[in-house]
Homo-oligomer: A and B are copies of this chain.
């Protein structure tokens, strides 16, 4: 059984955001799968999709502060600057963190660890909604 669906993630401020509920709220079809895999592709190059801690919101704040230092703006050697100082650092973060996840499905639910949640990393200062293409397969 195969199913493909285009979801939208709401526009968010720069930073890391827990979006497990936002995704599952648009993915009722998951219940049809007893065993399978869910593939998620964020179709952008200046945002990211990762798994991380779903409990303490400080983790998201600390991650944002860490990645601002890891990929700082206005490096003298940057040439791709026409779209603003936040753009090239956003491409770097997108490459480091990735834009795609493959997650197991068990009995109609994502089989994540107890503390795992899906993070939408928004790396632009002013971003609109983001497209997420979901592919479900299984039995």
Contact = CB atoms under 8 A, between A and B. Distances in A.
A112 B43 contact: yes
A20 interface: no
Interface string A43-55: 1110000111100
A93 B84 CA distance: 26
Contacts of A53: 45, 91
A55 B86 CA distance: 17
Given A77-B62, A80-B62, A104 B41 contact: yes
Interface in A9-50: 35-37, 39, 41-45, 50
Contacts of A127: none
A91 B58 CA distance: 12
Interface in A69-117: 70-71, 75, 77-80, 82, 88, 91-92, 94-104, 106, 111-116
Given A61-B79, A62-B79, A115-B45, A104 B39 contact: yes
The 3 closest A-B pairs by CB, nearest first: A43-B113, A58-B80, A58-B79
Given A36-B135, A59-B88, A98-B98, 15 more contacts: A2-B139, A37-B135, A41-B111, A41-B113, A43-B111, A43-B116, A44-B113, A45-B116, A58-B80, A62-B88, A65-B78, A66-B75, A104-B133, A111-B133, A137-B137
